[in-house]
Each structure stands twice: as C-alpha cells, then as structure tokens.
Amino acid sequence: MNTLPPCARRVEGGIELRVKVVPGASRDQVAGLLGERLKIRTATAPEGGKANKAVAGLIAKWASLPVRDVEQTAGPTNPEKTFLLRGIQELPSL
C-alpha cells in the first residue's frame, strides 16, 4: 500500500481525512496540503450546514466515491473538520 499524506490515516472501513475548510472562495477546489490538513475551498457560505455538505460532495468527487460514503465525523461548526471515506484504502494524488 502507498503511504498516505499527513492529512489522512487508515481506519477500520476506510480512511479518515482531516481538512481545513475555507468558505466563501471564488470556486470549489481541493487546494492541497496545509500542514497536516487538506485545504479545501468552497464557494458555499457556511450557513445551516450547506458548506459542510458542499465539502463532502467535493471530497466524494475528488476520491471517486459516492457522496453517501463520505461522512463528516468532527468539526460541524469549525473550519477544521474530519471526514470518514468509507471503502477505500488509497487517496488520489495531491
């Protein structure tokens, strides 16, 4: 198995991914590593969980997973969040 970036670790059932979300960006984008987190920009405003859903959808698309296999597990109101990506053992290149 390939080595995961510092923002990710293998857990039972998939990969745990730590992210730093930047809402209000001009476009949705997986921007690369920021320390030990994956920086994700989203154009969606952080209102009523909309940005969290947008980020989950962006992660799903980036990892080639159905959105139902991406679950937010920490940080619902914090820009630093954790997601569980079910059913995979590797991530796309950053």
pTM: 0.93
Query: How many Å apart are CA 49 and CA 10, to the nearest integer?
Result: 26
Query: How many Å apart are CA 70 and CA 34, to the nearest integer?
Result: 21
pLDDT in tens, 72-84: 999 999 999 999 9
pLDDT in tens, 25-44: 999 999 999 999 999 999 99
> Domains of the chain, with CATH numbers?
8-80 (3.30.1200.10)
